[in-house]
Amino acid sequence: MPEETMIFKSSAEDTKELKMIALAGNPNSGKTTVFNALTNLRQKVGNYPGVTVEKKIGRMIVSGEREVYVLDLPGTYSLAVRSPDERVARDILLGRMKDTPQPDMVVCIVDASNLERNLYLVNQIQDLRLPMVVVLNMMDTAAQQGKEIDATRLAQGLGVPVIACVATEGKGIEALKTAILSGSHSMPERQWRLPEAMEIEIERLAGVISECMHLDKTTAFAEALILISKEDEKKSGWLIGKKRIEECVKEIRGRLTEWGINWRSAVVEARYDWIQKILKDIVRQTGSKKIALTDRLDAILTHRIWGWFIFVGLMAIMFFTIFSVASFPMEMIDHFFARLGDVVKNSMPPGDLRDLIANGMIAGVGAVVVFLPQILILFFFIGLLQDTGYMARAAFIMDKLMSRVGLHGKSFIPLLSSFACAVPGIMAARTIESPKDRLVTILVAPLFSCSARLPIYTIMIAALIPGASAWQKASIMLAMYLLGMVGAFVMAWFFKKTLLKSQTPVFIMELPPYRLPSFKTIVLQIWERSLIFLRRAGTVIFCFSILMWALMSYPKVLDVSPAESLRGSFAGMIGSVLEPLIKPLGFDWRIGIGLVGSFAAREVFVSTMNIVFNIQGHTSQTEPLRDAFRNATWPDGAMVFTPLTCISLMVFYVFAMQCISTIAVVKRETNSWRWPLFQVAYLTGLAYVIALCIFQGGKLLGFQ
């Protein structure tokens, strides 16, 4: 039974001992850092039922043994939402979400350096009269801006506990736990007010909503406030069939317009008027404003010329580090699996079982696990860029290029996240308001080379240039990543001009202040990703290694060479059938076996190739596999893995859609098989045509 089901379907007696806390806040407010600080590693990540938005729930231990469940809601600026993840946050707070109850308490995380805007969401949640604690996070950033905030007076003005906090340093976390544990906090009456005529009309609408939807008066009033000022709210689905409510909304808007009240902005203006009155004597500017450093950094990092050099330079440093720093732990992992294979071979009698364990299971899994250090370094750099605030600057400098292909900078964050893995990158596209822009981003996201391609690039670069330096390897790797980016932008332009034609949206994005990174948060993310990778290696890759070993071992062909035995196997038959189709790309039947195996996951190509050559007696180490590539020949004695073939194969994997997980998440995000099947077709066709042009064009120019 899933953990979240167990939480919410406890017995009546157990329920008295449980609390479900929801963390709410604006994007970039440090909400995830607070969540990690409260829960440590006691977290579970899944999806909300019926939607593709990620669900993060954790357990916080208080008073030694007592557990409090913490739900990390997607970031949102307001309950008047514009994207799927914001809608999930709103629906949970309003009690609309099926299978997820309205929280017992809300912890609102606000950015102390941008208090006025952050308190807008706090004010909206207060309307729900749920027990609340407000966390003034990033107090250090506020101090650097010369701001002094009186947390005690703010608590008096809001009528709820307010905890000053610097979550990245752990300051205020224990005080927050104490405030949460103290139980329910009585909520004051609503303090802000609308024009009197509008107040009466909202109360009337709330009464109709309460009667039709069977809601309590408080929730009905909050729903009425959202509904009266949000023109497209009826599209959310919860009002389908409620014509009485729709007619009431239409009548009220008509009367308000006649009375000269702007129903679109009146609620927003009233909220901000109240917030400004509260903050008048609570926030004081000391005069020692220290934001010059941020301004100076932005003048360089977001410069229209230097910004590009810095971005490319950072990518080059990242890839250099991947090849230089990761080499030592990779050698250790190589050595471990090689020794493990030798132990099995020396302790078991010859036969299929020994061959399966040593050359199938150990060699197959080891060939992929060896690249774990490189993948973790990639995740470390991406986490560092996000935590320092540079990721938003990267989106800013990319906006001009993105606008030329019909997208805006906001699409770049999901695309950049796809460098780690296309699955979270595609899921991150749900923050994009326009459905067509969201779909274009999803369709091109796999072109940003994910971490699963690292093993393929690494082994092919080793075969291409055996004695390459770390900088040479990094340059080739960077070229592959840039090629994928260019391909993504070209295809995005094509889709925006044809299938998904729409106007280029205006780019509005908040640039968070620069911060020192929280290494605890980054390490936690790396730990989670390493577990996901190892779990994948221990399940998907393990199973496919066994399958590929079986396909390459049977049927048995006696009294022939190992190569002829492999060609006579089921896998060899599949590869032989594919060879006429892929030979124009420079690929032989053995590469064809790898292409078929890697459809489950791209990194399976390396483990499949490792099994192919391990059948001939090799271990799981990278060097023998590289040498085996260089010794592989065609029937006429010509080399298979020539430099031109290596480049053709790397380029094929830049564009090819070789990942079942990505196909599955695209299906969930688009709620249709139409788009994932289209994506597989166009990316596979694109990969084939470009690899064909490179190989045949290179041969015409005299390259080998």
Q: CATH number of the domain that 67 lies in?
A: 3.40.50.300
Nearest to 124 by CA among 270, 253, 290, 18: 270
Neighbouring C-beta atoms of residue 606, cutoff 10 Å: 27
Report yes or no on 487 lying in a domain.
Answer: no
Which residues constitute the domain of residue 544? 332-372+521-700
Whether the upstream peptide bond of residue 555 has omega within 30° of 0, thus cis, is yes
Nearest to 423 by CA among 399, 451, 458: 451
Contact in structure between 566 and 572 (CB atoms under 8 Å): yes
The reply to whether 175 and 232 lie within a common domain is no
> Tell me, what's the pLDDT at 288?
56
pTM as predicted: 0.67
The reply to whether 137 and 44 lie within a common domain is yes
pLDDT digits (tens, 9 = 90+) for 169-200: 888 998 998 888 776 555 666 788 888 889 89
Query: What gap in Å lies between CA 75 and CA 86, rounded to an integer?
Result: 7
The reply to whether 207 and 131 lie within a common domain is no
The reply to whether 614 and 531 lie within a common domain is yes
With cut-offs at 50, 70 and 90, classify the pLDDT of residue 53.
low
The reply to whether 66 and 152 lie within a common domain is yes
Quick check: 240 pLDDT over 60?
no
**Lowest model confidence (mean pLDDT) among 286-290, 339-343, 508-512:** 286-290
Strands (E), 175-264: none
* Domain finish residue from 151, 181, 211: 181
* Domain finish residue from 122, 150, 181: 181
Report yes or no on 280 lying in a domain.
Answer: yes
Residues contacting 247, CB < 8 A, separation 6+: none
The reply to whether 156 and 203 lie within a common domain is no
Nearest to 571 by CA among 615, 620, 603: 615
- 428 burial level (CB within 10 Å; 0-12, 13-18, 19+): buried
The reply to whether 66 and 169 lie within a common domain is yes
Report yes or no on 343 lying in a domain.
Answer: yes
Report yes or no on 379 lying in a domain.
Answer: no
Number of structural domains, the chain?
A: 3
Contact in structure between 203 and 127 (CB atoms under 8 Å): no
Query: What gap in Å lies between CA 540 and CA 543, rounded to an integer?
Result: 5
List the structure tokens of 527.
């730990």
pLDDT digits (tens, 9 = 90+) for 17-40: 447 899 999 888 888 889 988 887
Quick check: 619 pLDDT over 60?
no
Please report how many Cα atoms fall inside a 13 Å half-sphere around the Cα of residue 326, on the Cβ side.
25
Residue entry with tokens 């805006």: 408
Contact in structure between 572 and 552 (CB atoms under 8 Å): yes
Residue entry with tokens 């790797």: 477
> Tell me, what's the pLDDT at 263?
87
Query: What gap in Å lies between CA 657 and CA 654, rounded to an integer?
Result: 9
The reply to whether 153 and 202 lie within a common domain is no
**Lowest model confidence (mean pLDDT) among 181-185, 419-423, 446-450:** 181-185
* Domain finish residue from 284, 308, 340: 284
Report yes or no on 501 lying in a domain.
Answer: no
Contact in structure between 337 and 491 (CB atoms under 8 Å): no
The reply to whether 117 and 265 lie within a common domain is no
The reply to whether 35 and 83 lie within a common domain is yes
Report yes or no on 471 lying in a domain.
Answer: no
**Within the chain, what is the greatest distance between any pair of CA atoms?**
96
Report yes or no on 569 lying in a domain.
Answer: yes
The reply to whether 243 and 101 lie within a common domain is no
The reply to whether 116 and 11 lie within a common domain is yes
Report yes or no on 494 lying in a domain.
Answer: no
